[in-house]
Structure 1
Amino acid sequence: MTYDPPRPPGRLLLTPEDREAPARVRRLRLLGLAVRPDPALDAFAGRLADLADAPYAMVNFLVENGQLFAGLHAPRAASTGDGGVLEFARVQPRDHGFCPHVAARRRALALEDVRDYPRFAGNPVVDTFGIRSYLGAPLIDSTGTVLGAVSAADVRPRPWGKAGLATIKAMAAELMGRIERSAADGLPL
């Protein structure tokens, strides 16, 4: 199985290596997660979007060859101007967005303006969806495995501040507790 895109020699590694991928994929399968979108996780993402006052919020699980937004709150599809429709996809490559960085770092990440950081400014979601600010926290289970991340994103630069970091961390802890309780009880989220 391949987990990381090939990197040309001498180029900045824009997507972090995913050394935990095999353990994560096994753990996600054991928990029955990262199979499909989940209405309960969509509701969670909607609540997070409201708390963060952001147009985008996600519950993202990092899977074998990409990412699955099992929970998603996003603006309705928009016209591209040439007759096409632009919609935030539930499955995306690992190099789209910032959640893989949160997982690799194993800690929260707040980007007030993604264009201020060369590593993040060229990310496809910046040009495609106009993402300008990001706030995310890892979903770390009781085994120490990073399953993915919860995040909020905005189309305008904004200071997330200490309150934003506290909120995203608390939401990640809340969701991880719900996931582990539902797995232990054999119940859906």
Structure 2
Amino acid sequence: MSYDPPRPAGRLLLTPEDKEAPARADRLRRLGLGERTEPALDAFADGLAEVTGAPYAMVNFIDEDRQFFAGLHLPAIGPYVRSDGTSPEVGRTLPRDHGFCPHVVVRRKALVLEDVCDYPRFAGNPVVDEFGIRSYLGAPLIDSTGMVLGTVCVVDVAPRPWGKAGLETIKTAAAELTVRLERYGQV
């Protein structure tokens, strides 16, 4: 069974099929994650934003239908202004077909997009137009059972040369957070 919503014909972006979504949702419920904000995860996201210099950082748990940012760092002033002069309101949830974390979860490995517009598969993602996202760096949170719980990621509204150092930073952050999540049964 697929959990991907139908896409309009002609779009290159396809949200990957996620066969582990029901088992992940169950595991997240048992760990007490993915339903409420966590101050410790907000602090983790703050630290990740500081280390990478990114305006946005998230600890993201993904179930069958949505993404939930249990940890979220936002800039004090939104760095993206739409053509109509408004800034997008960033919340704690996104549909599963928004953003790049669902790709990280299904791939089970880190994803580096220095400029999402260089990749037709990702350039059409709703977060590009809605939030002005131009670069992404994310890694999966894989627990000791082999289950991908979600991701840690940073994004920017400008292209960013994340490089090998960025990749190592995000992978290390994901590994460290996974140990913390399991050690305490949650954060």
Partner of 1:124: 126
Offset at residue 64 of structure 1 (A):
2.6
Offset at residue 13 of structure 1 (A):
5.0
Structure 2: how far apart are the matches of 1:94 and 1:131? 16
CA 1:77–1:4 in 2, change beyond 3 Å: closer, same or farther?
farther
Deviation >6 Å, runs of 4+: 79-84
Q: Which runs of 5+ in 2 are unaligned?
A: none
Most deviating of 97-106 and 71-80: 71-80
Offset at residue 113 of structure 1 (A):
0.2
Partner of 2:18: 18
- Alignment-mate amino acid for residue 37 of structure 1: T
Aligned length: 185
Partner of 2:40: 40
- Alignment-mate amino acid for residue 172 of structure 2: A
Partner of 1:169: 171
Structure 2: how far apart are the matches of 1:80 and 1:112? 21
Structure 2: how far apart are the matches of 1:168 and 1:103? 14
Structure 1: how far apart are the matches of 2:2 and 2:120? 26
Partner of 1:51: 51
- Mapped contact 1:77–1:85 kept (Cα < 8 A): no
- Alignment-mate amino acid for residue 27 of structure 2: R
TM-score, normalised relative to structure 1: 0.90
TM-score, normalised relative to structure 2: 0.91
- Alignment-mate amino acid for residue 142 of structure 2: I
Offset at residue 81 of structure 1 (A):
8.2
Q: What percent of counterpart residues are identical?
A: 69
- Alignment-mate amino acid for residue 67 of structure 1: Q
Most deviating of 83-92 and 145-154: 83-92
Partner of 2:97: 95
Q: Which runs of 5+ in 1 are unaligned?
A: none
